[in-house]
Structure 1
Amino acid sequence: MSHPELAVHTEHEAALDRKLWARPALPEHDTELLHAWMHKPHVVPFWAMDWPQDWIRDYLVRQNEDPARSPLLGYVDDMAVGYIEVYDPARDVLGAHAPILPGDIGAHVLIGDEEHLGRYSVAIGRAVVRFLFKRPGVLRIVGEPDVRNHQFLSLLAFLGFRKVGEIDLPDKRAAFMVCERADFERLSARRRRVSA
């Protein structure tokens, strides 16, 4: 069940003529799906959460109970396509390894459904960035993807993120990526003019 009544963000992607939306990830409904995604070959190397299903459920419960985190399920029309973890980077492991500023917000993004990799990735990425910048007080989006995840790093650069440096986290060597609101809006406006 998609539970559209729980949507926290909805937008129409004109280029694809699709509705993109997100709702809270619910342990009682979404554990099986998230478990399947975490075992996909394109996900395992970067998330390293190919755990038993009860571990995934416990993880989702903890994410929902943590006031510094918001676990979400992302949809294209009525199909669940990905998992988004919005977090306060000052209260995350990232805060001990990178220069976090007031107004920063972090997000982990996983596109679990392979059919929606590729051309859908840009639309989904834009929707996530717009959603995060709609939150009150957010000035920058930060992230720490694995330096080996070249496809995701390219997508972030296309969306307006810049690589500030590399950091060593407990579980990976990461690229510290930053997207400032002004850069994203300027890049989006330029692309709209070019496509008009």
Structure 2
Amino acid sequence: MTTATEPSGPVAPVHVQTVEGFGTVRIAPVDPEGDAALIHGWVNEDRARFWGMGGTTVDQVREIYAHLDSLTTHHGFLVRRDGEPVALFQTYEPSADRVSECYDVQPGDIGVHILIAPADTPEPGFSARLFVALTAFALNGRTRAVAEPDAANEKAIARLARAGFELGPEVVLPEVDLPEVHIPAKRARLAFLTR
């Protein structure tokens, strides 16, 4: 595992890791301008319905990630394997998020969201090997990762369990209704990965 400054696109990566038998994974902050069209295509597929951005335009995706980029508590990352975009990864401080109303946030917690890019040809073991780099990045300097996928997203919940997350209770994440962002209430399943 290394941290590097060589660019993997227009934005320098914050984490670079070679995963044996998989390739080199580079995690770089989302470039709202440069990555909006790519992300728009991903989040508007039916398979990404739980991401909550279906029906958005490219401009709306750009605005959402520009807003995220302006925050100090929430971060969006584009993940590439050997130069190819393969996932959207978001981290956040649980104490600054609605999830804090649903569980006892501990020092060292970090929240995570993952959207794996569509694949023309599914690759057995792809997500498991990708998670090696994602969890190494998320848990660097942290003690526990917290995920809260939609309770109806059985595939994501199973993927987290296979990655070593301990499944927690179902909760209702409260609605967020602010001038700059609106997020409806969501029934979610908590999951925890301790380093």
Q: Do both proteins adopt the same fold according to a TM-score greater than 0.5, normalized to the shorter chain?
A: yes
Q: Is residue 141 of structure 1 aligned with residue 125 of structure 2?
A: no
Kept in 1, the 8 Å contact 2:10–2:31? The answer is: no
Aligned residues with identical type, % of pairs? 28
Q: Is residue 39 of structure 1 aligned with residue 44 of structure 2?
A: yes
CA distance in 2 between counterparts of 1:33 and 1:5 reads 15
In the alignment, structure 1 segments of 5+ residues that lack a partner are 182-196
CA distances 1:57-106 after superposition (whole Å, capped 9, x unpaired): 11000100000011100011111011111100110011112221111001
Q: State the number of aligned residues.
A: 177
In the alignment, structure 2 segments of 5+ residues that lack a partner are 1-6, 176-184
- For residue 5 of structure 1, report the CA deviation from its aligned partner: 6.5
Kept in 1, the 8 Å contact 2:13–2:29? The answer is: yes
* The one of 89, 92, 96 aligned to 1:91: 96
* The one of 158, 163, 167 aligned to 2:167: 163
Within-5 A mapping of 1:1-196: 2-3=8-9, 6-16=12-22, 18-44=23-49, 46-50=50-54, 51-115=56-120, 118-134=124-140, 136=141, 138-169=142-173, 170=175, 171-181=185-195
Runs of 4+ in 1 over 6 A off after TM superposition: none
Q: CA RMSD in A?
A: 1.7
- For residue 125 of structure 1, report the CA deviation from its aligned partner: 1.4
Q: Which amino acid aligns with 1:100?
A: V
Provide closer, same or farther for how the CA distance between residues 4 and 159 of structure 1 changes in structure 2, counting only shifts above 3 A: farther
CA distance in 2 between counterparts of 1:26 and 1:5 reads 7
CA distances 1:5-26 after superposition (whole Å, capped 9, x unpaired): 601111111122x111110100
Could you tell me which residue of structure 1 aligns to residue 178 of structure 2?
A: none
